[in-house]
A and B are shown apart, each in its own frame.
Chain A
Amino acid sequence: MSVPPILKVDGLYKRFGGLIAINNVSFEIAPGEVKGLIGPNGAGKSTTFDMITGVRPPTSGDIWFKAGRITNQPAHTRSPLGMARTFQIVRLFRGLSVLDNVLMGLQPKFPDGLFASLARLGSLRKQESESRDKAIQLLEFVGLADRAGHPIEALTLGQARLVDIARALASEPQLLMLDEPAAGLNDAETRNLGNMLAILKDRGMTMLLVEHDLDFIMKACDTIVVMDHGVKIADGSPAEVCRNRDVIAAYIGRRAADAEH
């Protein structure tokens, strides 16, 4: 490949006590690529996601982001580097309004700490006002601008997920990582989400999607990594992955896989 990957996961290995949750998993994401990460429950998707986002360190293996090794860098370093994520169980700030939640995505761009902020008092007002405009644009993008001032309690699960995505987008990430964005959404909401991801893809956004909704992921992704029992069993285009015997076996059962061939 001529273009260097934006994310490179190399020989990732994670042990929880006696359980090997992730065993030698490697894959790459090219700029502009939308990659899916699928697998049955307990396959190790969330654990992989957590290691890439710095929530837990791998036992061994390496993670590279834009040519920098970030394996053991803490979670808070990811956003300034250009990586943003959402959560499988939506984690919005319940004491903040919808708009303020999205504004939190811009936090690393603000001066850090009291003294730094007081020193830049003059430009702070302007930055706040520009950030608000940007946050409202993002809320418009996800179709929730009219909810800007609402408390989080007033949102449906589907809306909360969209706010989570808007918040992740606020930092203008080069890699957007979504953990089961379609979980708990109804059909209309899932379609809406699919359209939105398609728009982001058209704009050149690189994404990593963890999903168990196969239909959704087949449509949304360029390539798909399939995991089972902590091991990568397939990596390729949706069509290739669908034909893979191991994948069928993992999803439907060994006998079905044999019957296919």
Chain B
Amino acid sequence: MSKPTLPAAPTPTILPVFVFLAIGALIPLVLESGFYIRLAMLVWTYAVLCMGFNLLYGFAGQISLGQPAFYSLGAYAYAMLQIKLGWSPAVALGGSLAFVAVVSLLIGLPLLRLRTHYLAMATLAFMLVENGVANRWIDFTGGQSGVEVPALKWAGEEIGRTGIYYTVLGLAAVVLLLHDFLIRSHLGRGMQAIRDDETAAQALGVRVDLYKLRVLVLSSVMAAIAGICFGITSLRVDPSLSEFHVLVSLLTIVVMGGLGTRFGPIIGSVIVVALPQVLTGFGRFETAIYGACILVFLIFLPHGLSGLVERKFQWRADRATADAKRRKQVLKEEVS
């Protein structure tokens, strides 16, 4: 008897990713005001930063509180490689990502064997050090006023706001596609396995330490990409990139959007960038409001807004059960 041929397994579709990107691509056509385009760039920047954190913490279960340091480091490296070494923007992009990858590797190497909170504390300490250096090593970093990021040029001319926007969108698209590929592939499954039970993952052949190190490096590189997005948008990098409020924004985004979900980082970023526009009157209380939001979401909506939509298990359940049913169906047809 020949083995019945089975239909291809349904995998969650990539369609929503293209919907997000299409909306992103349409924004400059719909919203002509520079103000909104700047906000949209900030949304993408934060989304990129948070997708890295989502993979690291939401999926692999490792907390790094030092993401703002990698964010800042990426932006500084991108600027410095151009200013001090005269590298072209594209080469500086590659160089700064490689630099951040090496730094995070050096930090992760000794730490990931230890329990989670060591990584959290050590990366937080790294953020404080990085911020201190950015502030104090004035000759090199320009101190408080920071350094200027060379404007992007095309055929000798500075590209306009729309050009910058599409550059940011392009970088965000790469990260979004990687983030989504990882989550939907066996690699995402492996990360979640490590998050849930390292011993069992190891027994199934997962090289836990290596996996954790790779995710840490990847999330740092994503943070660096976000930093570069910020740099080419604001044309300036200063120590505020690795200040505490960036960490608070990041945590607010992932908690509101939904940790360990596919689209939590994007949805959360839209809200956190839009919220202050609605709450302008609250100026000084912004951080307090973010904190309150984190608490409310952690208590009432632990999987965030995206979790509401994705309903975590629902799609998996439907898919898997459908799989099983269809298999039986095919077998029946084959027999009859």
Contact = CB atoms under 8 A, between A and B. Distances in A.
Interface of A: 53, 55, 74-80, 84-85, 87, 91-100, 103-108, 110, 112-114, 117-118, 124-126, 128-129, 131-133, 136, 139-140, 145-146, 148-151, 167, 171
A117 B200 CA distance: 23
16 contacts: A55-B199, A55-B203, A76-B208, A78-B205, A87-B203, A91-B200, A93-B201, A103-B186, A107-B193, A114-B187, A117-B185, A126-B8, A136-B320, A139-B324, A149-B319, A149-B324
Given A136-B327, A149-B318, 9 more contacts: A84-B204, A92-B196, A95-B195, A118-B181, A129-B9, A136-B323, A146-B321, A151-B313, A171-B204
A93 B197 contact: yes
B197 A146 contact: no
Contact of A148 (B178, B203, B205, B323): B323
Interface residues of B, number: 40
A80 B8 CA distance: 26
Contacts of B190: 104, 107
B192 A148 contact: no
Contact of B186 (A91, A107, A118): A107
B59 to A, nearest CB: 9
Contact of A114 (B189, B200, B214, B320): B214
A149 B205 contact: no
Contact of B192 (A96, A110, A129): A96
Contacts of A146: 321, 324
Majority-rule SS of A interface residues: helix
10 nearest interchain CB pairs? A149-B317, A79-B205, A149-B320, A108-B205, A129-B9, A148-B320, A93-B196, A91-B200, A99-B320, A110-B186
Nearest to A96: B192
A160 B82 CA distance: 57
Interface string B276-302: 000000000000000000000000000
A164 to B, nearest CB: 9
B199 A91 contact: yes
A132 B185 CA distance: 12
A113 to B, nearest CB: 6
A142 to B, nearest CB: 13
B190 to A, nearest CB: 6
Contacts of A136: 320, 323-324, 327
B100 interface: no
Given A132-B9, A133-B327, A114 B316 contact: no
Contacts of B320: 97-99, 132, 136, 148-149
A177 B137 CA distance: 59
A106 B9 CA distance: 16
A92 B190 CA distance: 13
A94 to B, nearest CB: 5
A85 B207 CA distance: 16
B326 to A, nearest CB: 10
Given A79-B205, A114-B182, A128-B9, A93 B200 contact: yes
Interface of B: 6, 8-9, 11, 178, 181-182, 185-187, 189-190, 192-193, 195-197, 199-208, 214, 218, 260, 313, 316-321, 323-324, 327
A95 B203 contact: no
A150 B189 CA distance: 15
B6 A133 contact: yes
Contact of A97 (B181, B197, B206, B316): B316
Nearest to A87: B200
Contacts of A131: 186
A136 B201 CA distance: 20
A119 to B, nearest CB: 13
A53 B203 contact: yes
A234 B319 CA distance: 50
A53 B199 CA distance: 11
Contacts of B202: 74-76
A76 B207 contact: yes
Contacts of B187: 110, 113-114, 117
A96 B203 contact: no
Contacts of A97: 313, 316-317, 320
B324 A78 contact: no
Contact of B189 (A55, A77, A107): A107
A42 B192 CA distance: 33
A124 B185 CA distance: 9
Contacts of B203: 53, 55, 75-76, 78-79, 84-85, 87
Nearest to B182: A114
Nearest to B9: A129
A63 B45 CA distance: 53
Contacts of A77: 205
Nearest to A164: B200
Contacts of B199: 55, 75, 87, 91
